[in-house]
Structure 1
Amino acid sequence: MRINQATDRERSTAARREQIVAATIKVLAERGYGATSYDAICEVAGLSSKRLISYHFSTKDDLLAEVLHRVTTDAAAVMRPAIEAATGADGKLAAYIRSNVEFIAAHPAHIRAVQQIVYGGAPVPTEEADAAVSRLNRLFDEGQRTGVFRKFDTLLMAYTVRAAIDASAGRLIAGADPENCATELAETFHRATRIQR
């Protein structure tokens, strides 16, 4: 009986945290960083008290860090299967770019929320961004080892790919065709990384 009660409590806690994070993403995306108050989050989440937020998140920075983590987790859920299904380093690079563009286009509120956190000057944990660059760096290293990619600074190229995708977010949110955007970016980095024959 106690195990069931503990499990129910854990599920309830997880559901409440999810409710708060989802509401925070919506408020950030629609109202901006400056208007993302606990009152606004309560209103959108349908919570009766701000204490429910502070019970689950000790500070607003902790809540915003969880929003960033949620966005990267949701993006990984879209991107990982596409990357894993691709073959060869060049195929995986194209899948990385295409799936990331697809995620941005399909989740504009997530992207606006992240932009608002960054532009608002909140402390941004770098673990997720560093992990994304590290994954690309490893992909480029592998592609060079297997003779798929030419010699270049793999870390610099990883940062360049991330910067190009991040820069495309504004256009995608404004309604640019994600297929055209993904194709253009994938072709650009195919040309930038391939061995010239």
Structure 2
Amino acid sequence: MPASPPRTGDRAQATRARREQIVQATIEVLAGKGYAATTFEAICGHAGLSSKRLISYHFATKDDLLAAVLTTVIADAAAYMHPRIMAADGPRAQLSAYIRANVEFVAAHPAHVRAVQQIAFNARPRPGVSPDSPGSPGSAEDTALALLAELFERGVRAGAFRPLDARLMATAVRAAIDAAAGPLLDGLDPEHCATELATAFDHATRA
């Protein structure tokens, strides 16, 4: 008796699983070998795929694949951080939770962080494509800054923070966390790092 053709839902699930497998392998190759060595051949070998065509079927170019990597890392970070931030009561506690959750994510996901660093340091903008286009490091950074600036604005309105430049303060927080990524990847205790940063910005923003 002939086998039944796969159902549409099964095919879609298999496609998602394959894309996720390729993206995860790309993250690991970027983190372990660097940008230049992250070729379709290297990804294929790392993922145990039989042919590069299995990658190019889902991602036409390396740029498309790297955009998917950024989207995945951003989504993973948001899923990790958002519940912790939302569980905090009030802008001051949410700022502390934002810093702590971000530091914890960096420490717990070193491959994600190294992969994004490789893309940010090495990827060149595609002709005709703005650095602020969806999937670009610039676009992701602007979104993160806007959300953090909104937290500062709410805190100022509520009297939890002193009058301050919300965008500038958001940039300072992001810069501090980004600067801490290297030491964290080298083994800095994340609890110590998070406490130092949270305390510093608590004093800097206190009403």
Q: Same fold (TM over 0.5)?
A: yes
Higher mean C-alpha deviation, range 4-13 or range 175-184: 4-13
- What is the number of residues matched between the two proteins? 194
- In structure 1, the residue matched to 2:67 is 65
Alignment of 1:100-139 (within 5 A): 100-123=102-125, 125=136, 126-139=138-151
- The match for 1:156 among 163, 168, 171 is 168
CA deviation string 1:138-190 (max 9, x = no partner): 10000000001011111011111111101100000000000000000000110
What is the letter of the counterpart of residue 195 of structure 2?
A: T
Mapping of 1:19-38 within 5 angstroms? 19-38=21-40
- 2: CA distance, partners of 1:134 / 1:120: 25
Q: Distance in 2 between matches of 1:185 and 1:10?
A: 43
**TM-score, normalization: structure 1?**
0.95
**Aligned to 1:177, which of 178, 189, 200?**
189
- One of 180, 183, 187 as aligned partner of 1:168: 180
From 26, 42, 45, the counterpart of 1:43: 45
How much has 1:122 moved relative to structure 2?
Answer: 3.8
Distance 1:4 1:53, change over 3 A: closer
Residue of structure 2 aligned with 1:146, choices 158, 163, 178: 158
Distance (Å, rounded) in 2 between the aligned partners of 1:189 and 1:3:
58
> What amino acid does structure 1 have at the position aligned with 2:146?
S
In structure 2, stretches of 5+ residues that fail to align are 126-130
Cα distance between partner residues in 1 of 2:140 and 2:31: 20
Question: How many Å apart are 1:4 and its aligned residue?
Answer: 6.7
5 Å matches for 1:6-17?
Answer: 6-17=8-19
The answer on 1:188 being equivalent to 2:200 is: yes
Q: How far apart are residue 119 of structure 1 and its match?
A: 1.2
In the superposition, the TM-score normalised over structure 2's length comes to 0.91
Counterpart AA for 2:151: L
In structure 1, the residue corresponding to 2:7 is in which secondary structure? helix
- Identity of counterpart residues, as a percentage? 60
Partner SS state of residue 57, structure 2: helix
Task: Name the aligned partner's letter for residue 86 of structure 1.
Answer: A
| Aligned residues of 1:61 and 1:122 also touching (Cα < 8 A) | no
Two-structure CA RMSD over aligned residues (Å): 1.4
Secondary structure of the residue that 1:35 maps to in structure 2? coil
Q: Deviations over 1:63-107 (max 9, x none)?
A: 001101111111111100000000110000000000000000000
